[in-house]
Amino acid sequence: MEKHVAVIGSGVMGHGIAQLFALAGFRVSLYDLQEEFLLKARASIEHSLSLLVAEGVIADQSRVAALEHIVLTTDLQAAVSSAEIITEAIPEVVELKWELFEKLEHYAKPDAIIASNTSTFSIARLIEKATTPQRFIITHFFNPAQLVPLVEVVKHEKTALEVIQKTMQLMEEIGKCPVLLKKDVPGFIANRLQTALVREAFHLLAEGVADAAQIDTVMKNGIGFRWAFVGPIETADFGGLDTWKRVMDNLAPELNGSTKAPAIMEERVAEGNLGTKTGAGIYSYTDTAVSEKLRVRDEQFIRLGKMKRS
């Protein structure tokens, strides 16, 4: 019997999650408020699948089958009524999520898992108003969801063991690398690590140590090159904990310890310069096609994924 999942929200994360399940053979109901959002999502999925074909990751028949598995709908009840797992990928506004969850608890099967892709809220916050908290869980995918292997899985003490086990199994079934957190902490694991590094990168930029391109080059060709296969804790072990103790003792007092977003980031946001979505951020994108930069990024992610899987 064909397995059925529902993805609520067809934006940047939602369409990627839908693609993952569809490629794994699931029937996917992709829901959004307006048909135009869904059509845009389908175009993005078609583009992403075509890249996978071009890179030899999937055959063309798999692309066709995946597209056939995805049903677009603006009917929430129809989307979720027979789904085994429902993944919420709507904007990070807790009141909107509460409103959605109330409907999902009413429309969904009693044993359906309700998962959130939140990267902001704790699961305790998400289930504050839930009447069936035992079936709620967080599955935090990373952008682009269809290409980045990691999924952080966050449970609550009320989350049923069966839900946890089934969720981990499902993530592996769709080709992801799930990590189950032992504690629910703000930012989970990855965003805490990212925020610490981004904070220091913007501090170096503000201090004039190097320009943005040079700082990004250090990350891409140094730290990031190594971290694709050797994590930070392994790096410390490989380098020697005695060596890293001295590094930490010497540098930790020198690192930026600010507790809010960098000033330059606040300035750009106030100006409306948000990055690729507006044509300018720290970098300017007026002389380059953002879609082309994203295509190149995705091709490189696909190739790295193939290398890591081998």
Residues counted in the chain: 310
12 annotated among ligand-binding-site residues: yes
116 domain residue, yes or no = yes
Q: What is the pLDDT of residues 94-125, one digit of tens each?
A: 999 999 999 999 999 999 999 999 998 999 99
Query: What is the per-residue pLDDT across 152-208, written as a single tens digit (0 to 9) for each?
Result: 999 999 999 999 999 999 999 999 999 999 999 999 999 999 999 999 999 999 999
The pair of structure tokens assigned to 149 is: 């292997």
- 173 and 199 together in one domain: no
Same structural domain, 11 and 140: yes
| Residue 77, strand partner residues | none
Q: How many domains does the chain have?
A: 2
**Which tens digit of pLDDT belongs to each residue from 56-93?**
999 999 999 999 999 999 999 999 999 999 999 999 99
On whether residue 240 sits in a domain, the answer given is yes
- Residue ranges making up the domain that contains 215: 190-309
Specify whether 230 is located in the same domain as 128: no
- Specify the CATH number for the domain of residue 287: 1.10.1040.10
Give me the pLDDT at residue 1, please.
56
Q: Which two tokens stand for residue 28?
A: 């996917």
**Residues 134 and 195 both lie in one domain:** no
Confidence class for position 276, pLDDT limits 50, 70, 90: confident
Residue whose token pair is 């993005």: 44
Does residue 185 fall inside a structural domain?
A: no
Whether residue 253 has a cis bond before it, omega within 30° of 0: no
Q: Tell whether residue 14 is among the known ligand binding residues.
A: yes
Same domain, 82 and 203: no
Rounded Cα distance, 188 and 193, in Å: 9
Q: Which residues are catalytic?
A: 119, 140, 152, 191
Choose the final residue of a domain: 180, 214, 236: 180
Query: Is residue 277 annotated as involved in ligand binding?
Result: yes
250 marked among binding-site residues: no
Residue 42 forms part of a structural domain = yes
Assess if residue 136 is contained within a domain. yes
Q: Say whether both 194 and 176 belong to one domain.
A: no
Angle between the 60-69 and 35-54 helix axes, to the nearest 10 degrees? 160
* 92 assigned ligand-binding residue: yes
Same domain? 161 vs 14:
yes
> Do residues 18 and 148 both lie within one domain?
yes
Note whether 94 and 202 are same-domain residues: no
* CA angle in degrees (0–180, nearest 5) for 67-72-74: 175
Residues 147 and 93 in one domain: yes
Asked if residue 158 belongs to a known ligand binding site, the reply is: no
My answer on whether 36 and 169 are in the same domain is: yes
108 and 242, same domain (yes or no) = no
Judged on CB neighbours under 10 Å (0-12, 13-18, 19+), 282 is middle
